[in-house]
Every structure is written in C-alpha cells, then in structure tokens.
Amino acid sequence: MKKTYQAEPFRIKMVEPIKQTTRAERITLLKNAGYNPFSLKSDDVYIDLLTDSGTGAMSQNQWAAMMMGDEAYAGSRSFYRLESVVKKITGYAYFIPVHQGRGAEKVFLPQLVKHPGMYYISNIHFDTTRAHVELAGARAIDSVIEACYDLDQDHPFKGNFCLETLEKVILEKGPQEIAGIIMTITNNSAGGQPVSMENLRAVKKIADHYGIMTIIDGARYAENAYFIKEREQGYQDKDIIDIAREQFSYADVFLMSAKKDGLVNMGGLIAIKNRKDLYDLCRTYVVPYEGFPTYGGLNGRDMDALAVGLEEALDEHYLRYRIDQVRYLGDKLRAAGVPIQYPIGGHAVFVDCKRFAPHIPFDQFPALSVTNAVYIEAGVRGVEIGSLLLGRDPDTKENLESRTEFMRLTIPRRVYTSSHMDVVADAVIAVYQNRKELKGYRFTYESPILRHFTSTFEPIL
C-alpha cells in the first residue's frame, strides 16, 4: 500500500533565494573550510541540514508578536507573557529565560555538582550537555537500551533509558555521587528516537527512591509527545499538551534549547518544578552568565516570539507534517538500500556510516567522510554524529569510539519542501553507490573542547 504523508499545514508567503554552486567550486570551498562543514559559509550551501537549531521559519503570528516586544532591562512585559506560557505547558512554579540550551546547561548543571568527580547519567548526553557536565567537574555516563544500537530493529522507543544499567550505575557509584539524571527527549544521539511515557515514569521512580534529581533535556519535547500519542497504548485520544504535561510531571527540572520545539531562531529556558532554593541559586548565576533574570540573554521581542512558538509547536497538524517530512526522506533512502537508524526519528534522518563506509576506521571519522562527499555531490550540508563528536576520554585523552557513526541530515522546521528532500535523497544515494571511493580524515588542528565545531582536517589519500 502506498504511504501517505501529511502535507504542509501552511502557505508560503515569503521566499529566500538560495545559491547553487558547481561541483568544482564545492571541492575548493570544502578544502578552504578545512574539510569541516561547520566552517562553510551558508551562502555556499544549497540545502542546509547541518542542524534544526534556530534554523526554522517563524510564523506570521510570531513575527507579529515581535512587534510587541518590551525591551525593558528588568520586569519586561515580554518576560511575563513567556513565563505564563511556560508555566501553562510545564506546570512548574519557576522559570528563567536564557539565550539557548547551552546557556541553561552552563547555569544549571554545576549547581548539582557538590565536588569534582560526581556523575550525571543520561539516556545519551548530547555534545554540549556532555561538555558542560565535564566543565562542571563531573563525568557523563550514558544508559540507553541496547535496541538503540540495532539500527534495523523496529522498536517504537529506542531512546529509552536502560533501567537496569541506570540502577546498576547508581549502586556502583553510590547515590550520593550522582549529581542528577538527565532524560533527553527525544534522544538526539540515538537517532532522534523518542522516549516512552512508561520509561519516563520508571526513571522518575528509581530517581525518587535514591533521592536523585531528574532533569528533562527537552529541546524536542513536543516531537516526543507526538511519538507517544502515535505509538504508546492509551495516548491516542489525548491532546498533545496533556501528554507534554505528563512528561514534565516525571521530572524536577526542564532545560530547553527553544531553538528547536520553541520554533525560534534564538532562545532557551530553565524551568524548576518546586525547588525555590535551586531557582534562587540559578537566578544568582544567570546574571553574570546570561543577563538579568527577566531577560536572560534575550531581547523582549525574542521572548514574545518564543511565547507564540511554544504553543504553535504543540499543534498536532504541524507535528504530523513535521514528522512525516523526516519520514519521507528516510523512506526514500531506505528504499534505495542506504543504511539508516530505523524507525526514522523526529528531527533528522541518521545515516549509518559504519555500514556505509566500513573500510574507514572510527578514528578516521567515516561519518565526516560521507558528510563531505554529500556536500561535494549536491551542496547539501549534513553533520557528523559519531566518534568525532564524542571526542576524547577526559582522563586518558584517548579517542573514544562511538558505538554509532551517523551522518545526521537535520530538517529545519517549516523551511524546505518535498522537492528539496528529493534532491537530498538523490545526493546521498549517489554517494552510496560510489562509497568504496570514500577516504578517511585526520586532524590538521584539533580543538580541545567540542572539537567537531572548529577543528580542521585533511583527507587521508
């Protein structure tokens, strides 16, 4: 039976021209960028799937809301409008705006680290989260279910915590040594995979038993709620906002990069359920790190756009279109034999570069090789999510080998059409058909922190 996909639930009112380059030009441009896609100029990218963070298109209501922005340094009306929306969605008592997710991590995560050497446990820490855990003097431990690494297995919630591993780590390290448990929804590094409500509930039960605080890293919490409605028994007839509220009920803190499911170009938040002492501590630190607590690094107009975007992202018609556009690309690749993480995740298609380029060892970064080849093929920019991103062991300084080597093709929200997805699919398939020609990469400069952002490379010929 032919698959059907939800069409865009909007009309296009404004367009932005994008430039096409020649293959010869792209070879030179990539070389000049040190073979790091992050260093390419956006003008030299035809279809940009580097990230969905702040790259979406805002709605007419968001643009209108920006005109209402109150730019007062303290006590802005925009802050109180945003605070009202955050409290309505989460049910939490306390809220602080920040400029983006890493601002939330910088302010909040050190507050739970009482001494160096403590641990945060997550279903999988993403890059900035892991970096801020380590910068706070703690260590990051991942505890995701094994099905996450069986990329062909049709498991509905591959982002789930492995409960047995979670409890084992708590007992081995000692509950007093666990700074917190971070529930990443959806689980980005697992392939944009959702976490079930049952799993969230079970993690919170374990955390409460041992007296450990739980934190939702919820940049894509609305997409996670949609997957729960679609896949988990008992949620089909529930509204997305009610599913979202139940998700938040199983945590103590919510950290968000609002550049994803907030549908804005810049913004983030810290929400705390009921710990006023922790809220007061975070307010103290947000001043030197981000700004006054009623703007937190954002303009008033940013906060008004976010207040609208948070509610728009919970619209079920939008979410179905959003998830279906990602599925459309993933299904085209899978039909052509390109190995991907399956089921297809919420915000991106994750191409399995271990199987795509098995001749390239992990420390020569196979996913970077595939990503660069796709750019040369068609001007499509993706991103490596593998051993390059994982980095080095903070103690031994040895290269860590990721269990997955992904090229992430990340779809910005409300930006590209199905025809753009066809171009992306054709480019990846063409590279796959010539995959034996791919070469690995080595560093010409390695950045000591979050190395995938600013390092430079050369191909190993």
* Ordered DSSP codes for 165-180: HHHHHHHHH-GGGEEE
Which is catalytic among the residues 217, 252, 304, 331?
217
Distance in angstroms (rounded) separating the CA atoms of residues 366 and 352: 10
Ranges assigned E (strand) in 171-249: 178-184, 214-217
Tell me the two tokens of residue 279: 């809220």
Residue 423: how many other CB atoms lie within 10 Å: 16
Regions of the chain where pLDDT drops below 70: 1-2
What pLDDT score was predicted for residue 6? 84
**Residue 173 neighbours by CB under 8 Å, 6+ apart:** 119
Which is catalytic among the residues 10, 73, 80, 453?
73
Decide: 46 and 378 in contact? Cβ < 8 Å: yes
Distance in angstroms (rounded) separating the CA atoms of residues 402 and 415: 31
**Torsion on CA atoms 329, 385, 143, 230, rounded to nearest 10:** -20
Domain ranges (residues) in the chain: 23-52+315-459, 60-312
Which is catalytic among the residues 106, 204, 273, 452?
452
Same fold, 23-52+315-459 and 60-312: no
**Residue 242 neighbours by CB under 8 Å, 6+ apart:** none
What pLDDT score was predicted for residue 359? 97
What pLDDT score was predicted for residue 84? 98
Q: Select the CATH number that applies to the domain covering 23-52+315-459 from these four: 3.40.190.10, 3.30.70.2740, 1.10.940.10, 3.90.1150.10.
A: 3.90.1150.10
Half-sphere exposure of 6 (CA within 13 A, CB side): 16
Distance in angstroms (rounded) separating the CA atoms of residues 40 and 29: 7
What pLDDT score was predicted for residue 2? 67
Tell me the two tokens of residue 401: 């080998």
Q: Tokens 């367009």 sit at which residue?
A: 15
Handedness of CA 140, 146, 149, 154 (dihedral sign): negative
Per the annotation, the verdict on 452 as an active-site residue is: yes
> Do the bridges between strand 383-385 and strand 406-410 make them parallel or antiparallel, or are there none, so unpaired?
antiparallel
Which is catalytic among the residues 65, 219, 307, 348?
219
DSSP characters over 36-76? -GGGS-GGG-SEE-S--SS-SPPPHHHHHHHTT----SSS-
Which is catalytic among the residues 48, 127, 142, 302?
127
Tell me the two tokens of residue 318: 């939008």
Side chain identity at residue 144, one-letter code: V
Distance in angstroms (rounded) separating the CA atoms of residues 86 and 89: 5
Distance in angstroms (rounded) separating the CA atoms of residues 157 and 171: 25
Does residue 181 sit in helix, strand or coil? strand
Tell me the two tokens of residue 335: 């039909």
Which is catalytic among the residues 158, 260, 354, 420?
260
Which is catalytic among the residues 79, 119, 126, 328?
126
Distance in angstroms (rounded) separating the CA atoms of residues 158 and 164: 15
- Could you say which DSSP state residue 218 is in? -
Per the annotation, the verdict on 126 as an active-site residue is: yes
CA 184 to chain centre: 9
Distance in angstroms (rounded) separating the CA atoms of residues 260 and 265: 8
Of the candidates 130, 128, 190, the residue with the CA atom closest to the CA atom of residue 348? 190
Helix (H) or strand (E) holding 142: strand 139-142
Distance in angstroms (rounded) separating the CA atoms of residues 205 and 59: 39
Distance in angstroms (rounded) separating the CA atoms of residues 341 and 152: 7
**Torsion on CA atoms 144, 145, 148, 153, rounded to nearest 10:** -170
Q: At what angle do helices 418-433 and 366-378 cross, to 10 degrees?
A: 120
> What is the CATH number assigned to the segment(s) 60-312?
3.40.640.10
Distance in angstroms (rounded) separating the CA atoms of residues 52 and 71: 27
Decide: 5 and 324 in contact? Cβ < 8 Å: yes
What pLDDT score was predicted for residue 7? 87
Distance in angstroms (rounded) separating the CA atoms of residues 145 and 125: 14
- Could you say which DSSP state residue 435 is in? G
pTM of the complete model? 0.94
